[in-house]
Structure formats: C-alpha cells, structure tokens
Structure 1
Amino acid sequence: MGFPGTWMTESESVVYRVVPKCACSSIGQIMFYSDHGRFFDGDIHDATDGLHKWALEHSQPRIEDVVKGHKAYAFTCVRNPYTRVLSSFFDKICGIQRNGKRYRGNLVPMLVQKYGVQVGGDDGKEAFDQIASFRRFLLFVRDTIRFRKPMEPDIHWSSMSGHISTFIVNGGRYDNIFFTEKFDDGMQTVLDNITTKHKVNLKKIPKFNESEGHGPKRLHPVEDYFDDLSHHLMWEIYKKDFQLFRYDFDDPSNKMPKGPVDLDEVHAKLGD
C-alpha cells in the first residue's frame, strides 16, 4: 500500500502526512518555500514538481526509502472533529469548486434527493436552513463511514485517525502531531527540528486557505449545528479522533484540544 497522502520536500528535510481540512494547503506551501524560497503559484495540491508526493510515481521510491529508514523528521496536523466536518460541509457540499462545478459531480444532487440536504441553490448563494441541512449531511457521512453506502467515505470527512494510521501501519513513525488550532506553535516546532534551504518566518507566511470563499459563510456558532442526535453520530464516526487527539467531545463550542497528543499511544493504537 505504501504511503498514500504523504508529501516530502525535494531536499528530503521533512515528511508530512496530509490530513484533509487540517491546514494542508499552508503546510504544503511552507514545505515548498523552505526548499525554493518562493511559494508555488496556485493550489499546492496541483503541484507536480518541486515537492515529492506519493501520488507522483517518480516520488514513491524516495518517500519509501526516507520514511521506512526514518531519515527525516515526520509530522502531521489534526483539527477539532466538529469544526472539520462543518468545514467539509460548507466547502465541499455547499461550495462551488475551483473548476466552477460542484464537488464530485453527482454527489450533491444525490444528497439533495436522498437526504433532503439544501445547498443554497445552483450557485450556493441562496438562503437555506444551514443547521437542518448540515444534520442531514452528517447522517450521510455516518452512512458512508459505517456502511460504505451510498458511496465510499470521502477523504475530507473520513476520520483523521484513518488517514494517520496508514503511515504507521506501513512502517512510518511520526515525530510530531500538532493542532491546526495552535498552528504557528506546532509548525515552528517542526521548523526548529529540521534544516531548510530557505529560512521560514511564520509571522510573514500568508494563510493559504484554498477552501475559503467556495461556499456560504457559517451563520451560527459551532455548537448550534449539533443536537443530541448529531452528538451521537459524531461519537459513532469520530470516537478515535476525539480520544487520541484530545478534543472535547462534550462541548462543541470548545475547539481547543485538552492536552498534547501522546505519540506513543497514537502509534500503539493506530499501528495494528
């Protein structure tokens, strides 16, 4: 299986396991800058050179060698499951994508028809009941993850622990797992542990939020989207994420983690 979703600088200074909706655009651009002294012109997800990616065939032997031999610092980044799944809804389901179309073609029409999800009309700009639609979307997320119906789970809402585990199971080991909510602190720790060709000043790095502006703005506080049933579904879907990454399941309004990630516990529990 190798190391899907893994990126590495061309200089092989650092390895990163991408977790969608967890600052991956910013992290990729920082990695690119650390090697080349400039940012990639466009969405870093579209880059086919200047950065090793497992999806690029020529990169795979280099990534495999470095990861299995633990020859470079390896890290990933996580995010509160409540805000992550909300972000997936507004960006991927309600939003028009970079290509001017809906995400994954017939996915949104199917959600409208089968789950009664509203998305703000053809352009995503009409008013709609965000809370009711999001809760219906969450039922769909549960169905994809628990029953793999009506489709396989999408990378943007499948669990973080699922993404993170493939790296461990196939022979990798993380040196750091930090929080999107404490991004500058976490990224600085990574930079402090590696040697880069170009110095990175995080205070001067723009935020590369590739999903911003795709969909409607969230109109309500996070906690308003989650009623009793939604809470139940969130635990069913993301129990491991809450437990391993120390997020507050009981209080959706608290986006901050309750403590640091225990790397030994993560490797033990996700390495089966």
Structure 2
Amino acid sequence: MGFPGTWMTESESMVYRVVPKCACSTIGQIMYFSDHGAFFDGDIHDATAGLHKWAREDSQPAIRANVKTRSAYAFTCVRNPYSRILSSFFDKICGIQRNGKRYRGNLVPLLIQKYGIEVGGPDGQEAFDQIRSFRRFLLFARDTIRWRRPMEPDIHWSAMSGHISTFIVNGGRYDKIFWTESFNDGMAEVLGATDTPQPVDLATIPRFNESEGHGPKRLHPVEDYFDDLSMHLMKEIYWRDFQLFKYDFGNPANKMPIGEIDLDEVHAKLGD
C-alpha cells in the first residue's frame, strides 16, 4: 500500500494529497507554517525536513499509519482543467525551470520536432503564436495520456482524478476537496477542522506561485485557446475531472465551478 504525492505535517494534524498545478506550493507552505510558525526558505517541493512526504522513505511509516487509522484531517485541492492545462503549457513547456534548464531535458526539442510547436525561443521570451502552439501541445498531452506515447504522461497534465484516486484506492478517505478558485474559503475550512501547533492567519499568507515568471505571459483569455477540436480533446482526457469536481466543460470562459463536490460520489467513482 502506497500513498504517492502525499504530504503530512510533522504534528500529524493534516494530510494532503498533492495535485500539481493546484496551489500545491501555497498549501505546502501553510502546512509547514502551521507546525513551525515560519515558512520554508525556498520552494516547499525541495524541503527534505519539517514536513512528512511520501517521497521521503523515513516519512512513509508515519503517513501510512495515519492514513490507515484516518486520524488526521485529509484533503486535496483541484482546479479548472482549462486553466490548469494552460498553466502547465506556459510553465513547463515554454518556461525555463528554476535549475536554469528546460523541463525534462529533451522534451521541448521533441515537441518542436514532432508537433511543430513554438516556445518563444531559447529563453521563452520571444513572440510566437501562443494559441497555435498550445493547441498542438494539447494534442501531445492527449497522446501521452491516451496511448502513453511518445512518452508517459507527466504529472503536471495527467488528470486530477488520477492523482486523487491513488489515495482512495489504497485506503485513504478525504474529509475535504476544495477549489483553487475559492482557495481562502476551502483552506479556512481545513484549518478550522484541525488543531495546529501554530495559528495560521490566512489573510496574511502570501501566495507561493513557484512557477510564476518561468515562462511567457499568457496574452489571451482562457477561452481563446480552445476551439471545437481543443474542447473535444479536453473532453477525451479530462471529462471525469469536469464531472467530479463540477467545472463547466461547455464554457472555457467560466473558471468557477457550477455545483458542489460530492465526496461520496468521488470516493465511489475513484475507489474502483
């Protein structure tokens, strides 16, 4: 039994299943702060102490025991699939990563060669047709998810329901799933249900957008990137995300959810 992508405070007050591109940097820093009264100095994804992570072998027994007994408040956070995939494109494909290199080495050259995309030159700052390149990237994302070629799907664009299901399938149960689009309300509910060693004032917490500035600025409204074919591809790969997390598939311009998340439905459909 494993819980990949799961973080837990050292005080075991809360357990969080990370979903990439869904405010995970901010959530991780809040968890760290709630134990230590200070933020981690750097990208929370790089922290090797102060926060239990499944990727740390020494953290696994504590996480496994806690999830099995369901003694900590367990939660995760989701985001509109349209804006999430766009964020992945501008950050991971067009952007230079914090190590000064392109994401995943030869990934961008492969995309340029096989799918004809542009990324704004060597530093991602040159002008290029963002809409055309994004639509070609979306075709690539579909190919990786549907046929696992020309490579395995990446965590930043694989479906949220896939990330979230591993926690359920291996015996966990979520107490809360909230939306990035109403982050303060959702995080306040999590904090209100947990007893943290250090008080957290959400109003004063900065947003830790670690991907900001990696790539070119998005020049157009979200809906301009999605034509009929793009929406067909989105339905093919993210339909379950739209249904379970109550986002508006028919209107890419509407980033807000159109219903309430039904936790029983999520556990029933993702626990197979």
Instruction: For residue 15 of structure 2, give the secondary structure of its aligned residue in structure 1.
Output: strand
- Determine if the alignment matches structure 1 residue 218 to structure 2 residue 218: yes
Residue 259 of structure 1: how far off its partner (Å): 1.5
Instruction: For residue 211 of structure 1, give the secondary structure of its aligned residue in structure 2.
Output: coil
2:97 corresponds to: 97
Per the normalisation by structure 1, the TM-score is 1.00
Unaligned runs of 5+ in 1: none
- Determine if the alignment matches structure 1 residue 270 to structure 2 residue 270: yes
1:66 corresponds to: 66
Inter-partner Cα distance in structure 1 for 2:135 and 2:256: 22
Unaligned runs of 5+ in 2: none
Inter-partner Cα distance in structure 2 for 1:39 and 1:25: 11
Q: CA RMSD in A?
A: 0.4
Deviation per CA, 1:2-28, whole angstroms, max 9, x where unpaired?
000000000000000000000000000
Inter-partner Cα distance in structure 2 for 1:68 and 1:154: 28
Residue 168 of structure 1: how far off its partner (Å): 0.1
Instruction: For residue 82 of structure 1, give the secondary structure of its aligned residue in structure 2.
Output: helix
- Determine if the alignment matches structure 1 residue 165 to structure 2 residue 189: no
Per the normalisation by structure 2, the TM-score is 1.00
Letter in 1 for 2:19: V
| Pairing 1:1-272 to 2, within 5 Å after superposition | 1-272=1-272
Letter in 2 for 1:99: N
Inter-partner Cα distance in structure 2 for 1:72 and 1:99: 35
Q: How many residues align?
A: 272
Inter-partner Cα distance in structure 1 for 2:18 and 2:165: 12
Inter-partner Cα distance in structure 1 for 2:124 and 2:17: 32
Inter-partner Cα distance in structure 2 for 1:204 and 1:102: 33
Letter in 2 for 1:92: K
Inter-partner Cα distance in structure 2 for 1:56 and 1:73: 21
Letter in 2 for 1:44: I
Deviation per CA, 1:46-79, whole angstroms, max 9, x where unpaired?
0000000000000000000000110100000000
Inter-partner Cα distance in structure 2 for 1:34 and 1:245: 27
- Identity, in percent, stands at 79
Letter in 2 for 1:112: I
Inter-partner Cα distance in structure 2 for 1:260 and 1:4: 27
Instruction: For residue 20 of structure 2, give the secondary structure of its aligned residue in structure 1.
Output: coil
